[in-house]
Structure 1
Amino acid sequence: MTLLSGCVGQPAQKAVQSGPIDTYTIADPRGDWGFPSPWGHYQRGPGYLRMSFLYDTLIWKDEQGFTPALASHWSYDEGTKAYRFALRDDALWHDGQKVTAGDVLFTFEYMKKHPYPWVDLSEVEKVEAVDAQTVQITLKRHYAPFLENVAGALPILPRHIWAAIERPEEHAEKEVLIGSGPYRLVDYSKEHGTYLYQANDRYYGGKPKVAQIRFVKLNESMAAAALTKGEVDAAQIPGETAEQMRQVGMQVIRGPHFWNAKLMFNHQKAPFSDKAFRQALAYTIDRQELVAKSLRGQGAPASPGLIPPDSPWHEPQVTPYTADLEKARELLASLGYFLEQGSLVKECRELSLELLCSPDNGRDGEIIKEQLARIGIKVRVKSLEAKTVDAKVGAWDFDLAVSGHGGIGGDPQFFSRMITGQGFLSARYNDNSRLNALLNEQLSAMDEEKRKEQVREAQRIYAEDLPALSLYYPTDYWCHNGKVNLFYTQGGISVGIPLPLNKLAFVRP
């Protein structure tokens, strides 16, 4: 897979600092992503990332793909459907105790008892500690996403810390944050949205280059000034400021389109339960206009098949839903709707919908409201905190909602999760038996070309049924001062997080 990221512009930029760094400060507009334990962090990419600095997985990913982590090497036996991992002899927990196969065995057993939403262990048949430093994981079937979505995502826990904890979701004390990762947590403030990490000098991957990492809450509009003043070392910036930052010697990297804004439909109730109605809305919504107005051109209209062109799993031949008001009106007329004094009416009732959005995507909500008004649909935009929107979507307590998530550039297991999974980011759609079969079959297809055929057909069906509509892929720009070589991970961090904050960047000399 080709890594789709790059530098903006060509003038000389600051070279990566070769020596150790005392403190590296990263700005984040939201700030708080939860207590950084597996059960404490908010279940979105930035929350997982903050946890990942503390806990290592069996394997990890860098710019090129999979790389060893707690496991120095691994193998797969197709006959027994078993992976065998050889653990490093020099991996220690933060408290000095050795990481063993028993800890790995415990982690799988503990997380089956206390499910960790980020990782699905349902395909694991059994886990065995072959010896003190060897683990064998037998699967129920051939499972193509295992390395990325389990071995490369499941944080390994120390048995001597967690064995006595019966309710992990209730523990938010630093004392439980004993991991094997390159950093330890020094301070976390939910109120201020800040995190402070201290390097683990006994890290098996070598003493980290950066002694302390700080995450601070800072609005994106203020990031450029903070960078030039030296108040922060890295931040996401608006695309229109990228050239300006490059001209003052900053490094600017452009990310792949591995995040999408998405319009969620409550297809559990009328009128959204009718595919033709969802399609009519899709023909009404001008995604190119959304990119121009909401992103100021810094992005691309999304594929109705969800997976972006940046991904090798992308299917270009899906129903495009290019804005077409006449087509939208035809579909609505076939469902019994007609215009009366500028409003869309059916059975003497005016169609009025509520659209949920958060402050971060409020502009999207207003644009969609304007677009739907063009065919007579009245929309009330209701702005709520992001967590509240997520909760309402998860409870099916909504009509329409603007949401979004990353992960769409990694293994297509995430594609399955975003269609049939039960999380609030998923369409939670199981009404098409052929789509269900393809999503299930592709998970066990170890032949990549066969799997691509299945995933591409699934995208065509998904775009036709349209249980949710991807709106756009924003083009993200990160600016940094060159002290650390930030990079975008192939396929995204872990299960596909599209951020250039891989922990390996802060460890490498």
Structure 2
Amino acid sequence: MAKRSLWLTVLILVLAGAGLLSAGGGATPRPYLIGDPQGDWGFPSPFAHNPRGPGYLRVSFLFDTLIWKDARGFIPALADSWEYQASPPAYVFRLHPGVIWHDGQPLTARDVAFTIDYLKKHPHPWVDLRPISTVEVLDPLTVRLVLSQPYAPFLEEIAGTMFILPRHIWEQVEDPIRFQDARACVGSGPYRLAEYRREHGLYRFVAFETYYRGKPTASEIGFVQVGNELVALKGKAVQAAAVPPEAVQELKDQGFTVLSQPHFFCLKLLFNHHKFPQQELAFRRALAQAVNLPDLVAQTLRGYGLPASPGLLPPDSPWYCAPQARYPFDPAAAARLLESLGYRRTPEGWMRDGHLLALELLSSPAYARVAEYLKKSFQNIGLTVHLRQVDHTILDQRVKNQQFDLALSGHGGLGGDPKFINDVCTGPLAREFLGGYQPPPKMVQLLTDQLQTLDEAKRRLLVARIQEQLAYELPALPLFYPTWYLGHDGRIPWFFTRGGIAKGIPVYFNKVALLPGAASASPP
């Protein structure tokens, strides 16, 4: 009861933007809080969380995967070791002995086999299990996953992303999304769920003291919604938060630790491919040439970011290859492209068959300045654009349901395995990421081939061709990769995970930083 009261006090102070100090001026022991301006990311179970990265991240504190990543690459998690067998293609995982679930039940290879069977019946947008043909439980701590064909991204996309479920809890669950009681959060991870408050975006985790990799160094940790991350951090209402670039030096002078990270997030302009003229390549290219990307970065990010590649992957990615197709700022060329679609420029705007071309641009509050910049850019070529600002969850839903003309939306994942491009183009979240774009057969074949190619040099050539095809087709207009900074009080040795957490989440909050010996997980 005392801990709950303390958390309520902390929450009130966070919402007020204040710190937690004792009457005598000394710091009162308090949980470690991470500030987040977006707030709620769904119920923290393997199925009910918001499908974007922050939702998955919160669940990762409760559930473990077979393997995980630190700053250098793959490390053991539930599996102490793994090996690849070529004929037939298969992976054998040997589990850590003595692992228990949060309710004290033992975790065995049968839980791994159950998880794969359950996910095949109830697909999860983060894990594509179609490459697995059969699962063999060799003994209580050994499982063999046989593939239908070679699958290059297996370790990151499946072994390092698939949360293992406790069979004794989930085998009776018929609707995993609606299953949202305390049992749905019983995992094998380093923390247990103590409290979740949707209205405050509050997630409170307490250490699982018998965790098989060692007792976590922070007894309690949480995420909470804040109105102003910088104010909350400086006021010590939270201990870690994203901070604006211009505040970096001030925070360092005040003793905070500030970290930058690779450009693995991209903001894009989405087109509704089910509507005319957005479905036309000439129109998409016209809008691309109406926007001065370097100036967009200078004006909306104050220069803290990079203009995006039309091939999607950033220069920071080890798979990046600069595409030949480029769209330099050229308003006159943009106007000619609109004319090629049968539009005629008038004082009112662009007309075709007696109808004025007027489009609505959706954006979330976080990208209001970008939306205003784009509106002005399109007005400069005579295009009428109306802005509508909505919450990010509503924006995602409207894009998914094709209820939009243009939309500003972004995602991470760009530092991980290039299988992410397949997810963007043809995966369960393709509508949110590309607005209903249907890749041509040539692109589909390239995407298929790169997954089945184990030779890295040959795979790089395929990924380069995919980037070229994306740049040519321009299913969405990548705008920029922002430069992000994390400020924190230095108590936890946060580090940036190689390629991003799991399949590429571009944030610092890797649970490994909370385990004994975490300092050695950071790069030298």
1:108 aligns with 2:116: yes
1:251 & 1:320 partners in 2: Cα distance? Answer: 39
Map of 1:382-401 to 2, 5 A cutoff?
382-401=388-407
Which of 145, 155, 158 matches 2:153? 145
1:447 aligns with 2:455: yes
Deviates more, 1:484-493 or 1:319-328: 319-328
1:354 & 1:329 partners in 2: Cα distance? Answer: 19
Which of 51, 60, 81 matches 2:89? 81
**Cα deviation code 1:37-81 (max 9, x no counterpart):** 011110111100000000000000000000000000001111111
Shift of the alpha carbon at 1:425? 2.9
Map of 1:432-471 to 2, 5 A cutoff?
432-471=440-479
Map of 1:60-75 to 2, 5 A cutoff?
60-75=68-83
Which of 325, 341, 349 matches 1:343? 349
Partner of 2:495, secondary structure, is coil
2:366 & 2:380 partners in 1: Cα distance? Answer: 24
Q: Which amino acid aligns with 2:153?
A: P
8 Å contact from structure 1 (residues 22, 211) kept in 2: no
Shift of the alpha carbon at 1:268? 2.1
Give 1:32's aligned residue.
40
1:375 & 1:410 partners in 2: Cα distance? Answer: 37
Which of 425, 432, 435 matches 1:425? 432
1:342 & 1:125 partners in 2: Cα distance? Answer: 59
Give 1:196's aligned residue.
204
Shift of the alpha carbon at 1:338? 2.5
Shift of the alpha carbon at 1:342? 5.3
Map of 1:14-413 to 2, 5 A cutoff?
23-219=31-227, 222-341=228-347, 343-413=349-419
1:265 & 1:207 partners in 2: Cα distance? Answer: 48
2:384 & 2:438 partners in 1: Cα distance? Answer: 29
Q: Which amino acid aligns with 2:233?
A: L
How many residues align? The count is 487
8 Å contact from structure 1 (residues 304, 318) kept in 2: no
**Cα deviation code 1:328-385 (max 9, x no counterpart):** 1221222222211151222232211111111222222111111101111100111122
2:407 & 2:510 partners in 1: Cα distance? Answer: 31
Q: Which amino acid aligns with 1:128?
A: E
Gaps of at least 5 residues in structure 1 are 1-20
Shift of the alpha carbon at 1:231? 2.1
1:256 & 1:100 partners in 2: Cα distance? Answer: 37
1:224 & 1:466 partners in 2: Cα distance? Answer: 36
Gaps of at least 5 residues in structure 2 are 1-28, 518-524
**Cα deviation code 1:314-337 (max 9, x no counterpart):** 111332212111221221222222
8 Å contact from structure 1 (residues 22, 210) kept in 2: no
Shift of the alpha carbon at 1:457? 0.7
Q: Looking at both structures, which has the greater relative contact order when contacts are Cα pairs under 8 Å and sequence separation is at least 6?
A: 1
Paired-residue identity, %: 46
2:183 & 2:325 partners in 1: Cα distance? Answer: 52
2:119 & 2:340 partners in 1: Cα distance? Answer: 50
Q: Which amino acid aligns with 1:505?
A: A
1:381 & 1:489 partners in 2: Cα distance? Answer: 37
Partner of 1:243, secondary structure, is helix
Q: What TM-score, normalized to structure 2?
A: 0.91
1:425 & 1:445 partners in 2: Cα distance? Answer: 28
Partner of 2:31, secondary structure, is strand
1:130 & 1:290 partners in 2: Cα distance? Answer: 57
Partner of 1:170, secondary structure, is coil
Shift of the alpha carbon at 1:158? 0.5
8 Å contact from structure 2 (residues 310, 323) kept in 1: no
Q: What TM-score, normalized to structure 1?
A: 0.93
1:431 & 1:97 partners in 2: Cα distance? Answer: 46
Shift of the alpha carbon at 1:431? 3.8
Give 2:507's aligned residue.
499
Q: Which amino acid aligns with 1:229?
A: G
Deviates more, 1:60-69 or 1:344-353: 344-353
8 Å contact from structure 1 (residues 254, 477) kept in 2: yes
Shift of the alpha carbon at 1:245? 0.5
Give 2:485's aligned residue.
477
Deviates more, 1:384-393 or 1:200-209: 384-393
Deviates more, 1:285-294 or 1:43-52: 285-294
Shift of the alpha carbon at 1:426? 2.7
2:194 & 2:51 partners in 1: Cα distance? Answer: 22
Shift of the alpha carbon at 1:87? 0.4
2:399 & 2:222 partners in 1: Cα distance? Answer: 32
1:115 & 1:401 partners in 2: Cα distance? Answer: 27
Q: Which amino acid aligns with 1:159?
A: R
Partner of 1:115, secondary structure, is coil
8 Å contact from structure 1 (residues 210, 506) kept in 2: yes
8 Å contact from structure 1 (residues 430, 436) kept in 2: no
**Cα deviation code 1:236-257 (max 9, x no counterpart):** 0111111111111111000111
Partner of 1:210, secondary structure, is coil
